[in-house]
Amino acid sequence: MAAGPGVGVVNAAERRRGSRSTPSPRGFGEIQGPRPGASGEPSRRAFWMAWLAAVAAFSVAALVAALAQAAEDAAKREAEQEPWLRIQAGGHTATVRALAFTPDGKRLCSAGLDKAVQVWNLTAVARDLRRTFLRERTIRWQVARGLRGSIYALAASPTEPLLALGGYGAMGSLGEILLVHPVEGHLVQVIEAHRQTICALAFSADGNWLGSSDAGGQIVVWRRGEWKPRTLYEPDAKTYDAPLANLIQQQPKLRPLAISGSEEVIVPACVGRLPDGPLGWKLQRVPLARPDAFRTLEAMHLGMVSALAATRDGRLAASADLAGRLYLWDLEAAALPTELKPGGVVLSLSFSPDGKTLAVGTAVDPKQQSSQLEIWDVASRTVRRSKPLADHVHACAISPDNKDVAYVGGQGHEVFVEALEASGGPVVLQGSGRRIWKVAFARADPPYRIAFGTTARERGFNDYADVDESFDPVALEPGVPNAVNPADWLEPDWCAGGWSARLQPDGTLQTYHRGAARGRVALDPRFEGRVRCCCWIADARGETFAIAVGCDLQNSVFVLRLVPEGTCPVLRHFRGHHDFVASVAVSRDLRYLASASADGTVNFWSLAELEQGAELCGRWGAEFVERGGALVAANVHPAGPLWGKGVRDGDALREIRWNDGPTMREERRPDAIRDQLRNLPWGTQVAFAFARQGEPQAPFQLLPAWRPLATLFVSRDRRWAFWTPQGYYDASINGDGLFGWQVNRGLHVLPDFFRADQFRKKLERPDVMERLLPAGSLEQAFEEARQKPPPQADRVLPEQIAATPRLEIVAPQPGQVVADHAATVRARILVPASGKLLEAKAFANGVSAAGPRLVRERVLPEARELTYDWVLRLPADPKNLIQVLVETDAPTQALGELLIERPAGIRPVRRPRLRILAAAIDQYADAAIQRLHFAVADAEAIAQTLREHSQGWYAVEKAVVLKNGQVTPQQWRKALDEVCAGLREQAGPDDLLVLFFAGHGIVDSQTQQYYFIGHKFRLEDLDKRQYAECISWKDFRSLAGIPCRRLILLDTCHAGAVQPLRSRNLKAGVRELGDDVMFTFAASAGHEKSAENPRWRHGAFTQSLLESLRGEAPSRPAPLVTLNDAVAYVQAAVRKLTNDRQNPVAAPDDLLPFTHLILAGGDDADRAGR
């Protein structure tokens, strides 16, 4: 008989026999995504056995957390204090596991293994003929190492803006549930009752009840208001006898639930092991008012119930299991269900609110190599349509208006939204990240260049893609896309020396030497994960002695010694990816290992001292010697684990602690400490207590796992960032917005997030990053850059974070509809006592506000609280992104953002005005400076085309073009003053000022100040660092306070450039403009030449821009060309003209999607209302 709900409601004690075992904390097991080449794996049964094993497995961290309270407390302290690096690519960067529409249907929330909720605004932006959905905000909850922080469940209240989220908690009891406001983004409440990972959440139709279930089998309902928990089912260990509870815990962590209407919960209950082997499950209907009056439905599910759903009116339910069964229940008829025939094992179900449609998402079928999204007509019990997909459909949801369906299942962590009665393709909600399937080092110098592949192929184990892009981590430049010759890159077996490997049906990797079987790689799939890739490593003599393997689950890389027979022992553990490792490669000089991951990153790992094996250095990156009765650290390697925790030569190790089963062990004897550090299992987390010169240091916990020396992320739109664990980095023009650091603030406060560009002045160090791999460590790279390395490099980032102001925009409210043409923005700024506020600015879609008014100042014990008001004139865009930027002397920046709406049909107060100033030089006074062919023609054509094609929208007031000898600093400043005359007082938020530059640009090597070379500049002045005949980018600060939109077009990277073309040179100029939210559109990424061709009679950039202004750019039905239209067209057109050798760059890229900045087209009707 199935167990019933509630302690004391059903006599569960009578069903328990024998001793109970307390289940270890486990998380919701990962269902692994499809792997290219899986068609070559053994059988359907073997596939599903491996699949189930992977689902049932979880992280060592969770197990350790339950074994000892002391270790758990230390982990929580670390989770609160440590900055956790997070990629911010505009969408998801790992598998999406949950979807939920807000009750008004205007927003879709998505979450998954990248540990954040993305909120997508589904109000179509009127741009192009397509619907374009904006990622409105990211809601972050607490995260920690490994899988802690993964989100497995979302539920949106159907009656109010309230979102429940849960998963593998990082700060509380593993099963905390957060209630947040999806529009405003703030935390409403944290509710706690579960001690294990949350698997499912569901609201009742009236919004008064929330149901939750966890991986241990506990089921709880919460009453709206105080949100006090009522446990319906205790954990399996209390509900079933010990053998059955243990058997259930070995199954996949699939514990769905549904609330039928507003009256009852539907949950699966185990009836025991069936005679033919699998577990049997039946559904129970549990009334919320009287849980003891539950009813058990008769049809049997096998294995585990994988998905549940019920209609809002309580008439129907659907349930599915791992045996492939899908039942449709008529709850009013109380009859046996109708069995439907889905196209695979069902993982997700969703009814439409009217109950007429059922969306079904399946797992990938190993034979078909695809999953399915199926749309069923409930009345006829037939499939209306189905769609094959590349990955498991972990989640699907139908919108509150019964019109749209959202689902996952793409190969790149996408979310799809399309009409239920689809006639076209879906809208794809995604960021700029993508999975990396292959990585390889260069065969020839420069040695550390890498190539990587982003398009999966079906070719079997360890061969998932061809390389198609490249990057040079020494030159800090990307290569030309789609111009990568595979023959130029080392294959994984380049130093195999006769060794080979074959993946076995049981998940082990069998090695062979010249065809003869040798040792096996046998990692524990419950903890380390499954092997996904491998490469070979040779020693200094060229003899192959080790194999490196990349895994899923822990997403680690293990290096193992090759042995004649038995199990290959682990030599080193590398840890730092957030999704499975798809490829590994070793450099030509054998110094580095590179790994590529589905999280979109490539990590570089040091192989220093690898041949020493799994001794102290191999595990911890240090030796320990006994001196005077104390155990002292020696030869601490700068790339090793202990160095990253601040341990240095001479530090004395006084004590270690670790968990041995349920017991916390400790050791203080030097010899015993050494023995334990050599021999403890690799998954053991050790607590260290060091002293320095007799002074105790802060204790810390550490796994014997090396962190990456550096990490590379290259986005789909060709932005890139290259950073170290300490926070130092280099990045492309917009690349420093791709990543940042999250700091947890405890369970009851949402975390803070700091983008890398907030610390640009301190942490962006291209001079250090270009030397990192040749030097071998960050400290040595500083030395080779002739810079003093910081004494504690790992403390620099936390100190920057501590010095950063806390900023909150108090008014207006997120999502507020503002009908007025101006809004008062109020922000509260908390400035640390040690810092000084230098500047506070506010913008609305790039339109700056006048200086702030101080409303209030309070002196607090460790900070000053400043409240400022700005009056912002709002452009007539459908949405306005309000931004507040503050800067301190730390030097750090803080940025606050919120999105407001404008009424439909909003129009400018008056006809917008356009002013144009262009400067172009074909010929320089100094013949040593390379002349250009079309710079002047480009400037004249841009000015003329803007004048002609913008008059339907703008009143063109001024258009000035300075040419050749006219381009001097004096004449430029005079022309700028004339063009800008009166703008500060008279400009409107929809007015536009366009500046165009064509010529040569340079950067001062010491100050990184950007200059546009004037006509009289002499080449010898560059060596003297004399720039009197250059136009300084500081001159543009005068534009900062002009309350209109400002667009700067740059074409300053040409063949024969005065300096070597480096992306950092152009970046220096664009970044200065971005600090005052001036829109920039540059002809290339800085290191690329701006192509010219006599056939075009212009540069490629100008030619394409002219075409877009003349109407070639895709546009709305009304003939308007926006900046977004122009950027999209020009980028595609220039890449096509130049075979991907020139890539125009627009900034700030995070603001562009919200901006409806018109460049050309329009008429009176357009001005009357867009």
Supply the CATH number for residue 838's domain: 2.60.40.650
Tell me if 1052 sits within 8 A of 999, measured CB to CB. yes
CA distances from 1165 to 904, 911, 1119, 1169 (A): 15, 12, 11, 7
Q: What are phi and psi of 500, to 5 degrees?
A: -145, 170
Q: Which of 296-310, 857-871, 1107-1121 has the lowest mean pLDDT?
A: 1107-1121
Distance CA 1139, CA 186 (A): 46
Instruction: Specify the pLDDT at position 1065.
Output: 59
pLDDT at 366 over 90: no
Q: Are residues 1019 and 1081 in the same domain?
A: yes
Residues 503 and 537 in one domain: yes
Q: Supply the pLDDT for residue 218.
A: 96
Sign for the CA dihedral angle at 526, 531, 532, 538 comes to positive
Per-residue tokens: 325 = 């069964």
Phi-psi region of 165 (alpha: psi -120 to 50; beta: other; left: phi over 0): beta
Query: Domain for residue 668, yes or no?
Result: no
Show the tokens assigned to 82: 């440590």
Using the 3D structure, point to which of 596, 612, 628 is the last residue of a domain: 612
Give the strand order in the sheet containing 316-321.
305-310, 316-321, 326-330, 338-340
The answer to whether residues 1105 and 1024 belong to one domain is yes
N-terminal to C-terminal alpha carbon distance within the chain: 65
The domain total for the chain is 5
Q: Which residues contact 45 (CB under 8 A, 6 or more apart)?
A: none
pLDDT at residue 1166, as a whole number: 53
Both tokens of residue 977? 């003053």
In a domain, 932, yes or no: yes
Q: Which conformational region is residue 1134 in: left (phi greater than 0), alpha (psi within -120 to 50 degrees), or beta?
A: alpha
Consecutive H or E run containing 773: helix 772-775
Query: What CATH number does residue 119 fall under?
Result: 2.130.10.10
Is 869 part of any domain? yes
For 676-707, the pLDDT digits (tens) are: 999 999 888 899 999 999 999 999 999 999 99
CB atoms within 10 A of CB 1017: 29
Per residue in 207-218, pLDDT (tens digit) is 999 999 999 999
Range in 458-462, 501-505, 953-957, 1000-1004 the model is least confident about: 1000-1004
Question: Is residue 889 a part of any domain in this protein?
Answer: yes
pTM of the model: 0.88
Helix (H, G, I), strand (E, B) or coil at 270: strand
Residue 891 CB-density burial (10 A; 0-12 exposed, 13-18 middle, 19+ buried): middle
Q: Which of 952, 991, 999, 990 is nearest to 972 (CA)?
A: 999
DSSP SS3 for 321: strand
Do 752 and 870 have their domain in common?
no
967 and 841 in a common domain: no
Q: Are residues 922 and 882 in the same domain?
A: no
Domain match, 1152 and 1069 both = yes
pLDDT at 68 > cutoff 80: no
When comparing pLDDT for 176 and 904, which is higher? 176
pLDDT digits (tens, 9 = 90+) for 150-194: 999 999 999 999 999 999 998 877 899 999 999 999 999 999 999
Classify the phi-psi angles of 878: left when phi > 0, otherwise alpha if psi is within -120 to 50, otherwise beta.
alpha
* Domain match, 119 and 146 both: yes
What average pLDDT does the segment 642-667 reach? 91
Q: Are 1056 and 1063 in contact (CB under 8 A)?
A: no
d(CA 459, CA 97): 27
pLDDT at 131 over 80: no
Same domain, 893 and 823: yes
- What residues pair up with 1011 in beta bridges, in sequence order? 1002, 1032
One domain for residues 480 and 605 = yes
Q: How far apart are CA 63 and CA 59, in angstroms?
A: 7
Looking at residue 1034, which CATH number applies to its domain?
3.40.50.1460
Cα pseudo-dihedral 1130, 1134, 1140, 1144, rounded to 10: -50
Flag whether 825 is in a domain: yes
Q: Looking at 196, 228, 260, which one is the last position of a domain?
A: 228
**612, 636, 653 — which closes off a domain?**
612
**Cβ atoms within 10 A of the Cβ of 565, count?**
9
Does 1015 map to a domain?
A: yes
Least confident residue range of 812-816, 1073-1077, 1124-1128: 1073-1077
Is residue 418 situated within a structural domain?
no
* pLDDT above 60: residue 1165: no
Domain interval for residue 469: 438-612
Say whether both 741 and 844 belong to one domain: no
Answer whether residue 405 is part of any domain. Answer: no
pLDDT, tens digit, 9 for 90 and up, residues 957-1012: 888 999 999 999 999 989 988 888 878 778 999 999 999 999 888 878 777 778 88
C-beta neighbour count of 72 within 10 angstroms = 16
- Answer for the pair 986, 909: CB distance below 8 angstroms, yes or no: no
The reply to whether 744 and 827 lie within a common domain is no
Percent of residues, the chain, with pLDDT higher than 90: 64
